Amino acid sequence: MIQPTTRRERDYWRAGLRVVVGCDAVGVACLSGPVLAAAVAMPPLARRIPGVRDSKTLSRAQRERLYPRILRRSLAVGVGAASVAEIDRLNIYHATTLAMQRAVRRIVDREHVLIDGLRIRGFESQVGDYTAMVDGDAHCYSIAAASIVAKVVRDRLMDRLAVRYPFYGWQHNAGYSTALHRRGIDAHGLTPFHRRSFARVQAAAFGEQLLLPVLVGEQDGLDEVHPGLVAVSGR
């Protein structure tokens, strides 16, 4: 099991920077729900939280246990999302970039940003200096912490939606393309929270005369799902 380190963060801390932000996004491949990103800044040279690693390698129970510890120990945490309407309008790549920008911009005193993945055209103009790291969620501690925060927040949002739309198993699959989810689409059709621009969803909706809802309040992409959700304030 790969354990993330603070090697990249230490390079910037030793250069005198204090607020080094890790950012990651989750829900990119889902058939439904928003894409959600989190940004986390950890205190310079502080002891790492045991168990923090790529959220994909953790069970939900493990992520839920780590989540409040990350919030308590961090300098600041920001959360941002891109709604289903934005995903369908912009495409998933640009919507994911938008969610990451929204999360990072919530940490207003950031001095450098570390993101999971490849460099993104125009990202620096939105968030300032940043470094892209392939498999950053596996190797970089602050990005791994962000992946856990993003996954926990998104899972909880999908739990709330599952109460309203109980036929798709979102409380178990978080909107991914499981057999239960596909059977729900076959039996009950699509909801306003399905990504109609995705090929699999388009196939399920073939022949349906459905219009995308016009959504408002998408400043951070979270109002669509839960109007009361805001980012954790920096301390």
Summarize pLDDT for 154-208 with one digit per residue, the tens.
Answer: 999 999 999 999 999 999 999 999 999 999 999 999 999 999 999 878 876 664 4
Domain ranges of the chain: 7-156
The contacts of residue 132 (CB under 8 Å, 6+ apart) are 115, 116, 117, 118, 119, 120
pLDDT at 193: 97
E strands in the chain = 20-26, 35-41, 76-82, 112-116, 130-133
- DSSP labels for 155-214? HHHHHHHHHHSTTS-HHHHTT---HHHHHHHHHH---TTB-TTSHHHHHHTTT-------
pLDDT at 221: 54
Distance CA 206, CA 196 (A): 10
- Topology given in CATH for the domain delimited by 7-156: Nucleotidyltransferase; domain 5 (3.30.420)
26 phi-psi bin (left φ>0, alpha ψ -120 to 50, beta other): beta
pLDDT at 217: 36
Positions of the chain with pLDDT under 50? 207-219, 224-235
pLDDT at 222: 58
